[in-house]
Amino acid sequence: MEDQQQAVLAAADRLVEAFGRHDSEGYFAAFATSASFIFYNLNRRLQSRAEYEAEWSLWETRDGFRVRGCRSSDRVVQIAGSVAIFTHSVETNLAFNGEPTTSSERETIVFEKQETGEWLAIHEHLSPHP
């Protein structure tokens, strides 16, 4: 169990680090193509990685969206067979049209162990920190 938790934490680290570098290719590679996403600042669920990639691209072109850094804390992993639930607090430094801002949020990422042994994210749910 400990090895699986460490593997999930490593997968989460890769995802968070890629996001924090605004490495969209590395970030989206951490998600299954069928992954779904719920963000409190969107009025709809994103039903696939492709939908999220399109939204990300829109944010970049329309809003000048840029991730400048990301810190993860209060990390917990729960394993349930081939599924793992990763929860954490996340503080993100962003820029919109060059204007810096910081967000403080809670996030749940559900990972599924693939036949290759790799853990891929299949769902992400983001909410504001109270």
Q: What is the pLDDT of residue 93?
A: 98
121, 109 contact by CB (below 8 A): yes
> For strand 66-80 and strand 83-96, is the pairing parallel, antiparallel, or unpaired?
antiparallel
CA-CA distances (angstroms) from residue 67 to 18, 99, 118? 10, 11, 26
Q: d(Cα 66, Cα 13) in Å, to the nearest integer?
A: 19
Q: What is the pLDDT of residue 86?
A: 98
pLDDT tens digits along 12-70:
999 999 999 999 999 999 999 999 999 999 999 999 999 999 999 999 999 999 999 99
Under 8 Å between Cβ of 120 and 32: yes
- For residue 98, give the nearest of 65, 69, 62, 57 by alpha carbon: 65
Domain CATH number, residue 62: 3.10.450.50
pLDDT in tens, 71-93: 999 999 999 999 999 999 999 99
* SS3 letters across 42-110: CCCCECCHHHHHHHHHHHHHHHCCEEEEEEEEEEEEEEECCEEEEEEEEEEEEEECCEEEEEEEEEEEE
User: The pTM is what?
Assistant: 0.95
Assign 130 a pLDDT band (cuts: 50, 70, 90).
Answer: confident
Range of the domain at 6: 2-128
Question: From CA 8, how far away is CA 24, in angstroms rounded?
Answer: 20
Task: State the total domains in the chain.
Answer: 1
